[in-house]
Structure 1
Amino acid sequence: MLFRSFLRRCLSSSQQLWTFPQKVMLRLCRLASNRVLNGGPAVFISGPIPKADWRRSQVVVILGMHRSGTSLLTGTLQEAGLVLGDVVTSAPHNRKGNREALPIRALHDDLLHSSGGSWDHPPSQVIWKPSHRALRDDIVVGYQHECFWGFKDPRSLFCLEGWLEVLPELQPVAIFRHPEAVARSLRAREGMALADGLVLWTLYNQQLLYWMDQLDVPLLHFSSDLNAFCTDAVALIDRLNLPHRMSANSLQFPDAKLHHQSSSKLPLPRDVQDLYDQLLDRKFSTLSI
């Protein structure tokens, strides 16, 4: 369904979303048609990879569970000069958009699907096939002249290995949110049971902790305190050395009118609470720089 919707948007003349290289769009269309017609991804042969050009860029990936503030963090970094390319800037459940590049999201969705899972049932292992690597390479080439660029998609938590193959200096940053707040948001948006939302929160954030053990991943907390987020975001912007120096008061993307947080009411399962406590212990702050 995602790919059929994706193709419809590609072909719609009213959508001004498609500034990615034509090669990227052709690969996505071939992946889509192959899945719909044959039930599996096609195989492509990728050309030479200009890795030397890629290494001139600083690349940032924003990690985190769905409904956890990843859009807020991504939009804030974009305001500071991080190039995202063509991204979604408005959505029914997110008035400022989720800041995701649809070709990257479609790639991740196909990776999860071809590995036997989906965004809400992530597979235990994600297999990058030649078709996925070819599309990934073409996407990266489209950014090769940017000094600072990045992407955001919660599915990246399960797809990161393939990006690290070609972007070994990739800088992850991450954000997390209280598990009950995420579960309630998923229930409102997706009709997901609270218990299922807590399970999904656990799967994503266990994967986040895995990457934090492997890589240097500054971790921000998305809570009711928007001022605290802005303060930490400015410190992160400085740490990443993004082009535009910001202050907590000068940030425009964070909007208190769109910042909705509900107070915790339910006791959490012990494993969920323990995981949340671990994230709190490892969160980034201005004191850590």
Structure 2
Amino acid sequence: MTTSMLKAGIMLIGMFCTSHIIYSSFQNEALLFQGSSRFLAKRGALELDENPSGFIILGMHRSGTSMLSGLLVKGFGYNPGNDLMEATGDNEKGYFELMPVVEQNSVFLYDQLLHGNWSRGLLDGWNHSNVDSFNHEIAIQRALNGEIDVTNLRNATKQLNDPNIEPWLMKDPRMCITIRSWLPFLTSKPAVVFTYRNPLSVAMSLQKRDGMHLRNGLQLWLQYNKAAIQNSNDLCRIFSNNDAILKDPFHEVNRISDELHTKCGVPLPPRQITHDIVDDFIDPALQHGKKEVEVKDTPIKVIETYGDCQIHEFGSLLSDDDLHKKFELDIYLKAMRVFCDLQSGAAYDSKYVWPLMNMPKEQESIVSIA
């Protein structure tokens, strides 16, 4: 099987969406898009093109992924595709998310009972991580068998596999969970830009905007970042963080763009960012406000020293006699240790041990987020 044959197979995605063909024998390998690395190894099939034609932004909600994407799109001309999600009051500058990608991710998640609504269903009580339970191989197989709607998958990959839009940018925070379900349908292996933000800042932002319990926001932060890192271990990655972008957006996004090309082989963007574009896209008042949130969220008292990192106390809204307070503190400490390991780089090691989340068995009422 040649690479051209594999690409030809990928272009036939529209044929299986209404079919009921069962591929249990894996006889039609050209139409399977070689979904998993395990399957590739067993069959000895060719890998996808090694030179990425674009990249995927991975990061938890409320972690600055829209700001980063906007700088890369507006500043350098990376192509997010057509039919983007409209801006809202939460992101007045835009989300830079391709709607077919967003809709297909909802299909993937709903199909495995995780709900497209990113917060509802991803937290199934404290003892079970629904993010961890998502199975990309099941998603791939059900797409290939025509057991789920792939209309948006077809529409999205038609754009992403079009050489005329290279270099492309793909973004939806839920890609942290579903990214491996997309890889078989792309004609090249994408690069990844991973970014993160202080977990307490993320949880407090969710609490303020949506009324989400702090402990739930912290757990989602852990789940999303774990999924993002583990699901992209075999991809070329560029690492950043929200603080670095806010501190010096011009130089940080230039570094990211340079490394996307020199390290990962992503095609050069059509233009270079200017200070005027940065100043126009990042409203100084908005940027200052974001810094204030980060500073305000930084407590004073040190409650734990973790390596070279100091973990501070925070202002819990729970009373001392609330049984959930100790679990909130426990999940906070676990999240902050991971945050420290992200800063040091330890969390990117493939052998990194992620913390367990042993929490009470009772179910929590999770706030629904639109």
1:125 aligns with 2:134: yes
Residue in 1 aligned with 2:58? Answer: 63
Query: Conserved in 1, the CA contact under 8 Å of 2:17 and 2:150?
Result: no
**How many residue pairs are counted as aligned between the two chains?**
239
Measured at CA, do residues 212 and 279 of structure 1 come closer, stay the same or move farther in structure 2, by a change above 3 Å?
farther
Q: How many angstroms apart in 2 are the aligned matches of 1:89 and 1:133?
A: 22
Candidates 337, 345, 351, aligned match of 1:282 = 345
Candidates 156, 163, 170, aligned match of 1:151 = 170
Q: How many angstroms apart in 1 are the aligned matches of 2:17 and 2:232?
A: 32
- Tell which deviates more after alignment, 159-168 or 132-141: 132-141
CA RMSD for the aligned pairs? 2.9
Q: Could you tell me how far 1:212 is from its partner in structure 2? A: 4.7
- Secondary structure at the aligned position of 1:213 is classed as coil
Q: Which amino acid aligns with 2:97?
A: E
Residue in 2 aligned with 1:140? Answer: 157
Q: Which amino acid aligns with 2:18?
A: F
Q: Could you tell me how far 1:63 is from its partner in structure 2? A: 0.7
Q: How many angstroms apart in 2 are the aligned matches of 1:196 and 1:137?
A: 34
- Tell which deviates more after alignment, 119-128 or 75-84: 119-128
- Tell which deviates more after alignment, 236-245 or 201-210: 236-245
TM-score (ref. length: structure 2): 0.58
Unaligned runs of at least 5 residues, structure 2: 1-13, 21-29, 34-47, 123-129, 261-267, 300-312, 315-328, 347-370
Q: Which amino acid aligns with 1:109?
A: S
Q: Could you tell me how far 1:281 is from its partner in structure 2? A: 2.0
Measured at CA, do residues 103 and 137 of structure 1 come closer, stay the same or move farther in structure 2, by a change above 3 Å?
closer
Candidates 51, 68, 72, aligned match of 1:77 = 72
Query: Conserved in 1, the CA contact under 8 Å of 2:177 and 2:231?
Result: no
Measured at CA, do residues 249 and 275 of structure 1 come closer, stay the same or move farther in structure 2, by a change above 3 Å?
farther
Query: Conserved in 2, the CA contact under 8 Å of 1:222 and 1:229?
Result: no
Q: How many angstroms apart in 2 are the aligned matches of 1:176 and 1:152?
A: 14
Query: Conserved in 1, the CA contact under 8 Å of 2:58 and 2:171?
Result: yes
Q: How many angstroms apart in 2 are the aligned matches of 1:254 and 1:60?
A: 22
Residue in 1 aligned with 2:285? Answer: 257
Residues 6-29 of structure 1: CA deviation (Å, up to 9, x unaligned): xxxxxxxxxxxxxxxxxxxxx9xx
Q: How much identity, in percent, do the aligned residues show?
A: 25
Q: Could you tell me how far 1:276 is from its partner in structure 2? A: 0.4
Unaligned runs of at least 5 residues, structure 1: 1-26, 28-41, 284-289
Q: Could you tell me how far 1:45 is from its partner in structure 2? A: 3.8
Q: Which amino acid aligns with 1:141?
A: K
Q: Which amino acid aligns with 2:343?
A: L
Q: How many angstroms apart in 1 are the aligned matches of 2:63 and 2:53?
A: 24
TM-score (ref. length: structure 1): 0.73
Measured at CA, do residues 249 and 235 of structure 1 come closer, stay the same or move farther in structure 2, by a change above 3 Å?
farther
Residues 72-95 of structure 1: CA deviation (Å, up to 9, x unaligned): 111111121111122235202111
Q: How many angstroms apart in 1 are the aligned matches of 2:339 and 2:84?
A: 30
Measured at CA, do residues 278 and 209 of structure 1 come closer, stay the same or move farther in structure 2, by a change above 3 Å?
farther
- Tell which deviates more after alignment, 178-187 or 165-174: 165-174
- Tell which deviates more after alignment, 155-164 or 114-123: 114-123
Residue in 2 aligned with 1:166? Answer: 185
Measured at CA, do residues 132 and 234 of structure 1 come closer, stay the same or move farther in structure 2, by a change above 3 Å?
farther
Residue in 2 aligned with 1:114? Answer: 111
Residue in 2 aligned with 1:198? Answer: 218
Candidates 87, 92, 95, aligned match of 2:89 = 92
Q: How many angstroms apart in 2 are the aligned matches of 1:95 and 1:256?
A: 14
Q: How many angstroms apart in 1 are the aligned matches of 2:197 and 2:104?
A: 26
Candidates 200, 208, 211, aligned match of 1:180 = 200
Q: How many angstroms apart in 1 are the aligned matches of 2:152 and 2:66?
A: 24
Residues 163-197 of structure 1: CA deviation (Å, up to 9, x unaligned): 11122421111210000110011112221011110
- Secondary structure at the aligned position of 1:139 is classed as helix
Residue in 1 aligned with 2:323? Answer: none
Query: Conserved in 1, the CA contact under 8 Å of 2:87 and 2:93?
Result: yes
Residues 40-63 of structure 1: CA deviation (Å, up to 9, x unaligned): xx96349x98x9xx9697121111
Measured at CA, do residues 239 and 248 of structure 1 come closer, stay the same or move farther in structure 2, by a change above 3 Å?
farther
Q: Could you tell me how far 1:103 is from its partner in structure 2? A: 2.0
Q: How many angstroms apart in 1 are the aligned matches of 2:269 and 2:109?
A: 31
Measured at CA, do residues 233 and 282 of structure 1 come closer, stay the same or move farther in structure 2, by a change above 3 Å?
farther
- Tell which deviates more after alignment, 102-111 or 176-185: 102-111
Query: Conserved in 1, the CA contact under 8 Å of 2:245 and 2:253?
Result: no
Q: Could you tell me how far 1:208 is from its partner in structure 2? A: 2.0
Measured at CA, do residues 174 and 248 of structure 1 come closer, stay the same or move farther in structure 2, by a change above 3 Å?
farther
Q: Which amino acid aligns with 1:137?
A: R
